Structure formats: structure tokens, C-alpha cells
Structure 1
């Protein structure tokens, strides 16, 4: 399967489950981690909600905080719901692997419940793309899958979610964190957090400033 075919299939699956997903999103309380991340921001921020889904909880949380929010997703149906639920934000149909924003456009990039749908072989390049659009010292909020969700330390395969077969892929946590560092994103928190009966690794990382030295390879 080509990369584009995979994205098209993922978009179609999320189009199909979008209404059920949006209706049940309140069962997953991510407010504590969103508040923790917001507490690290200096005032109002430019926020990119990458893989924004139906606009809740991330876009809604940061709009209510007074931030300038842009959301992107590959699912047109998800974007329709997001525009209705969070009209104060801007939403675009865009693959998070092809961020066409100028360098340094955002103070926070949130990639919640989405990166694990892409092959882990692409995560290093994906993180480099995230780092490019973040301002120096900007923050990344990231959700990664782990053994608690897939049943394996490393995983490449498909799982059922709301009646759809979706791709999942993840490294061991230490490997994923190393990929972030190599992309210039230094983890400052990495915690397994259970929400709605599901446990994922939630990572907050900060983009290295221009004065910092790159990690030894």
C-alpha cells in the first residue's frame, strides 16, 4: 500500500466514524494534561491542532483560553464537525506529514491521538516537520501508543476502533523519545495516562533554541 493510499483509507475510516467519535469524546477527559501544557506557555499562543478530529477537546480548550488556533485533519467529515463545534478556530484539510506553514509559525503543536496511525518508520521525519513549524522553545504535545494499548512493545498492524479497522504503529517509548531529541525536540514530560479506559504515552517536548547544541549521534 502506498503512503497516499494509506492516508486515503484512514480519511475514509474517520469519515465513517466521525459522528460516533464526536458524540463520545466527552468520555475522554484530557483536561489535566491540556492544562499542564498550557501552563508552560508564555501568554497567548499560536496553536496548531494537528489531527484535530472534531475540534474537541484540543481546539476548544485553547480557543477558550484565548489562543489563536488552527486545526488540520485528513477527514473532511471531522472538519465539518470541528467547524461547527469550534467556529472560532481555523480548519484546513491537510496531511500532518506535509505541513505547508512557514517555519516558526506556532508556539504549540498538539498531535493528539493521531501520530500512532502513521508508520513508525516515518516518525523521525514527522517530528522534524513538527520542529520546523514550531518557534524556538515552542512546545509539542504528543500522544503515542504503547504496550498498554496494542499489547506489544513495538507494533505495526491494525486494530478495531468504533467499527473500523485502523492502522497503528509505535516504537518502544525510549526509541520514540530519542527520535524526538534527534529532531530538536527535548522531552520534558512523558507519562502513561489513562483516559476513558485507554492508556497512552503523553509527551510534552520543547523545541531546542538556536543557541543549543544538537545531540550527539
Structure 2
């Protein structure tokens, strides 16, 4: 399945064109993993899923990128892994690197049950640095979509860059992308309001390898789908 990368709008306006975001990551390709070689926070959050879920669980890697390290580790743990990314180039790399998982090019707006790209329900969802690609106005809807994708009691782990910004264009590995972020208390609030119980919160300072990417503070939340 694939998407035309036009996301739905909460305000009823015309669909938001995400073509530029997808094309940027198509062009970035393998340089993403080169610029972000150390992913301790992401690896730790993935290991939480591995330790918490029984073998055979169905897990969605939302914004899977190249498939490394998250989708690969989840597949190695014996899970049924489905990955989704807006970038066709990233999906192609993920398929090559993690042949034991299934990958789709799609927009999160299309993933809800009964939507254009209905992938079914999951025992867990991981969204590492994918929701920050959305304007703030769309993030609560995206989180509610994740909640609908999860079975009762399902797990959700996500990460964002801590920053008080909304849909701001920044240089990124020779391209320009648009990103959003929250201060940590605000991020926790928006996640809880979407129907998740936060089990644990951690943060990690990070200095990417790319010359045009400044040091960042990465926030990680480990959550459970609320009743």
C-alpha cells in the first residue's frame, strides 16, 4: 500500500502536502544513520518493548526510516513487525535491511482502522522522532490514531526533540524539513490527553554528527494505552 503523502487536516481545510518532507528523506538516505550513529535512548526504549511483550506480538514501527535499529531488533525478538514511513527511499532501505518485516509507504493520517491503509491492530507501537514531522495541530489526532491502532493494554513508546517550536523549517543534512516539538511537561500532557498512561519518562542529550544539526535533548516516553 502507498500514500499520496497528503495528510488530512483537523481544521477541515485542504489536505496538507507532505511531499517536501518525503523528498527530503529520500535524498538524505543512508546519511541519516551516519549522522545519528548513537541511538542509546531509542535502543533502550525498544528493549523495553522486547522485555514486555510475548514472542509473536504484532508491533508497528511508525516512521521506520531505514529499519535500523528498531524494526531489525523487533524482528529478531520474534515479533510480527510492520513498518511505515512517508519516504519511499527509506521504505526501500528498510525492506533491504530487515527482510523479516513488512514495510509500507504511508502517511499516519491514512492508518486508522477502516482508513485507506488499514494495517489492523497492534500489541505495541514505536514512534521514534516521527511525530515531530507534524505541525502541533495534527499531533493530538496522530496520537489518537495510534491509540485506536493498539489493542487493549497495548504499549506505545515515542521520542521527540525537546523544543518549543511548531512547524518550523530547519536545515537538516543538506535539506530543509519542517519540525515541531514541545517542552517535556507539555509533551507529557498532550500524550496523556490522547488516552495514554505514561509509565516512564527519560531524556538524553545528543550531539548529531551532521554539521548543520545542533545538539539536541531527546525525550522518550514509555506508555500504555489507557482504558
Q: Same fold (TM over 0.5)?
A: yes
Q: Is the 8 A contact 1:184 1:207 kept in 2?
A: yes
Render the CA deviation track for 1:47-77: whole Å, top value 9, x for unaligned.
1001111111110010011100000111001
- What CA deviation, in whole Å up to 9, does each residue of 1:88-111 have, x standing for no partner? 100111102221446971011111
After superposition, the Cα gap between the structure-2 partners of 1:79 and 1:177, relative to the gap in structure 1 and judged at 3 Å, is: same
Alignment partner, residue 215 of structure 1:
none
Match of 1:168 in 2: 179
- Tell me, in whole angstroms, the C-alpha distance in 1 between the residues paired with 2:36 and 2:91: 15
The CA deviation string for residues 12-35 of structure 1, in whole angstroms up to 9 with x for no partner, is 100010121244554334322221
Question: Which residue among 34, 50, 55 is the counterpart of 1:38?
Answer: 50
The answer to whether the 8 A contact 1:46-1:107 is kept is yes
Is 1:143 the equivalent of 2:143? no
Gap runs ≥5 in structure 2: 1-12, 209-215
Over 3 Å counting, the alpha-carbon distance change for 1:173 and 1:23 in structure 2 is: closer
Equivalent in 130, 134, 139 of residue 150 of structure 2 = 134
Q: Tell me how far 1:175 sits from its aligned partner.
A: 2.3
Deviation at 1:40, TM superposition (A): 2.5
- C-alpha separation in 1, matches of 2:110 and 2:138: 12
Deviation at 1:127, TM superposition (A): 0.6
Alignment partner of 1:206 is 2:224: yes
Q: How does 1:21-32 map to 2 (within 5 A)?
A: 21-29=32-40, 30-32=42-44
Assess if the C-alpha contact under 8 Å between 2:55 and 2:78 holds in 1. Answer: no
RMSD, matched Cα: 2.2
Distance in structure 2 (CA, Å) of the matches to 1:103 and 1:207? 18
- Aligned residue for 2:87? 75
Structure 1 stretch 29-38 or stretch 123-132: which is displaced more? 29-38
Q: Which residue of 1 aligns with 2:110?
A: 98
More helix per residue: 1
| Aligned partner of residue 168 in structure 1, secondary structure | strand
Q: Please report how far the alpha carbon of residue 173 of structure 1 lies from its aligned counterpart in structure 2 after TM superposition.
A: 2.2
Map of 1:63 onto structure 2: 75
TM-score, normalised on structure 2? 0.81
